[in-house]
C-alpha cells in the first residue's frame, strides 16, 4: 500500500525511521529521523504521517504555528 501510494504520487518514502522532530522550512519541511541508531535529516515538500495518535504525540513539532496545527488534530 505504501509503495503504491508513493509510486502514484511520484515521491520518496522513508520507512523504519522514527521521526523525532519536524520543522517548517520555507515552503517545505525538515525532518529529523532515527536510522540505525543515528539521527538523519531529510527535507521534503510535503509530509504525510500514517501512524497512531499516541506516536504522533512523541514527535517534536518546532515552532508555535506548526505545534498548534498538529495539536488541533
pLDDT of residue 50: 79
Given this model, what pLDDT does residue 16 score?
A: 83
Task: Report the C-alpha gap between 43 and 53 in whole angstroms.
Answer: 23
Closest CA to 55 of 1, 15, 18, 12: 18
The three cell numbers of residue 48 are 504525510
Closest CA to 63 of 36, 33, 35, 26: 26
Parts of the chain with a pLDDT under 50: none
Give the per-residue pLDDT at 53. 83
Rounded Cα distance, 73 and 56, in Å: 10
Q: Is the dihedral of CA 47, 21, 3, 73 positive or negative?
A: negative
Amino acid at each position: 500500500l505504501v509503495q503504491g501510494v508513493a509510486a502514484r504520487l511520484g515521491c520518496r518514502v522513508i520507512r523504519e525511521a522514527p521521526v523525532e522532530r519536524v520543522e517548517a522550512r520555507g515552503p517545505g519541511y525538515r525532518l529529523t529521523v532515527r536510522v540505525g541508531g543515528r539521527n538523519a535529516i531529510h527535507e521534503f515538500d510535503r509530509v504525510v504521517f500514517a501512524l497512531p495518535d499516541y506516536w504522533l504525540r512523541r514527535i517534536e513539532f518546532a515552532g508555535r504555528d506548526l505545534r498548534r496545527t498538529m495539536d488541533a488534530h
